[in-house]
Amino acid sequence: MKPTWSPLRKAGYASVETGVTGFELMLQVYLLEFYIRGMGLNPILASAGAAIAVFWDAISDPLVGHLSDRYKGDRFGKRGSFILCGGLTMAVSCILIFSPPHFEEQIALFIWYLVSYLAVNTSMSFVSVPHIACVGDFTTTTSQRNSFFGWRLLFSNLGLLIGITLPGILATTTTEFAGRSTASYWIAGVLFLGIFVFLRSTRGIQSNFASSPKIPVHKFFSALRATFKNPYFRPLLLAFSLAAVARALNSGFALFYYKDHLKLEEKTEVTVILLVFILSIIASIPFWLKLSKRFWKKDPAFLGILGLGILSILTYPFFPSGQLTGPLAMAVLGGIAVGSILLIESLVLDTVDFDELRTHVRKDGAYFGCWKMMAKISRAIGIMLTGPLLLLTGYDNEAASQTPETSERISWIFGFGVGSVFIVSALTFRRFRMTQLVSENIKGRLKAKRN
């Protein structure tokens, strides 16, 4: 008997995302500063360790996805054991990376940092890739898939809220860096709770599909390349990767734009803007789900990406200094546009359906492993571009304030530069040729085969 997916049960599935996203934000925002300023690690060693860890993280995602596809399942389901083991290891390793011993030697501190970082990223792959691939195991209907991704986005943004606010709150009761160590314990608790709720909500549910045939290790990368040959998956992945580069550039320039160009206070006004942005994403989820029921997923997702690009170009370069109204309005509109990402991720499953029809093998894990891998590579590209672009603006990190010319260039990169990449992403997305009729035809043929 197929399970009944009530809203409460879907929320139980998605609850894992809160702890995962909370830790991801802490790693992205606080880790380098924690080790360089707080622990005294050489910046070159800190950057080298981060590069090694990010590279391994990108490689491990498709590998873990492939392994979870092959697994036949146990009492936790087809992918539950991956999420349980990975989540427990991730919680411990995240605590360890923010609680290093006081080493006197740089090399000892670097080894602790690198090993714990590798452990964090490996365990995160064991959680995030099988977790997102579960949606393809649980349901084949478009509306249910969209609903699952909506719940994922909701709990992911709750994780962002915790990751943004908790370290700051705890820092008021102790030192800044001790507050970040304490925050890692709290978020580990959130992750533990999410895993427990996930396992309870999905207890007894096995995959709807058989495990993939075993592929020798030396043929794994050939199988990985095969996912890129899917004519529907390729443009979708490229559009998503371009959007990920734009988001990374937006994140990298955000503080420079708000503090150096708009002259806003980071601890008050900038924090308010970020919170409004996250809450707007959460509030937009029902809106995108309703649109997808009426117009399917492709057109609303395209309008979301395109709208974000156009809004960035038309607003950010022209906001007056010291004014909060414009940035707050853009935080609301931009958050609504970003909410369309749930439809883009849901479309991945439609490309997996096509692949299953063509190859007779279901590979949700492999596809979402590639998806996660490209997201991380794109984010790394965006981060690497931020530094050189900032230098091109004439930015002086030793100056108390930037020149008007530098400030103006920052606003144009933050607005026109980032917005243009979003528009290119939207135009690339138009090359995704699958329609609702094609998708439903594929689902119908698959259903006939399974029956």
378 belongs to a structural domain: yes
- With a cut of 80, say whether residue 226 has pLDDT above it: no
Contact 156, 88 (CB under 8 A): no
Decide which of 204, 239, 259 is a domain's last residue. 204
Do 367 and 258 share a structural domain?
yes
Contact 381, 246 (CB under 8 A): no
pLDDT for the residue 223? 65
224 part of a folded domain = no
264 and 393 belong to one structural domain: yes
- Distance (Å, whole) CA 318 – CA 258: 13
Is the domain of 164 the same as that of 237?
no
d(CA 223, CA 359): 12
Most confident of 29-43, 168-182, 252-266, 345-359: 345-359
Structural domain includes residue 25: yes
Residue 11 has pLDDT above 60, yes or no: yes
Residue 327: name the closest of 385, 374, 265 by CA. Answer: 265
**What is residue 349's DSSP assignment?**
H
195 and 287 part of one domain: no
> Whose CA is closest to 41, among 106, 97, 92?
106
Residues 245 and 334 in one domain: yes
| Cα–Cα distance, 414 to 250 (Å, whole number) | 6
Answer yes or no: do 303 and 186 share one domain: no
Q: What is the domain extent for residue 45?
A: 11-204
Residue 88 counted as domain residue: yes
> Which phi and psi (to 5°) does residue 321 adopt?
-65, 140
CA distance 198 to 277: 27
Per-residue pLDDT, 217: 54
Would you state the structure tokens that stand for residue 233, as one six-digit string?
A: 């998956």
105 with 245, same domain? no
pTM: 0.80
> Are 260 and 317 in the same domain?
yes
pLDDT of 60 higher than 50:
yes
Statement: residue 215 has pLDDT above 60 = no
Domain-embedded: residue 408: yes
Q: For the domain that residue 59 is a member of, what is the CATH number?
A: 1.20.1250.20
Statement to judge: residues 192 and 246 lie in one domain: no
Average pLDDT, the chain: 86
Number of independent structural domains in the chain: 2
Based on the domain organization, do 59 and 179 belong to the same domain? yes
Domain assignment of residue 117, yes or no: yes
> Is 212 inside a domain boundary?
no
For residue 143, being part of any structural domain is answered with yes
Sign of torsion over alpha carbons 87, 65, 350, 230: positive
For the purposes of burial, counting CB atoms within 10 Å of the CB of 412, is it exposed (0-12), middle (13-18) or buried (19 or more)?
A: middle
Tell me: do 164 and 290 sit in the same domain.
Answer: no
In this predicted model, what pLDDT tens digit does every residue of 416-426 receive, in sequence order? Answer: 999 999 999 99
Highest mean pLDDT among 32-36, 239-243, 272-276: 239-243
User: Is residue 274 located within the same domain as residue 198?
Assistant: no
Q: Identify the DSSP state of 219.
A: G
More confident residue, 103 or 213: 103
Residue 320: name the closest of 261, 375, 278 by CA: 261
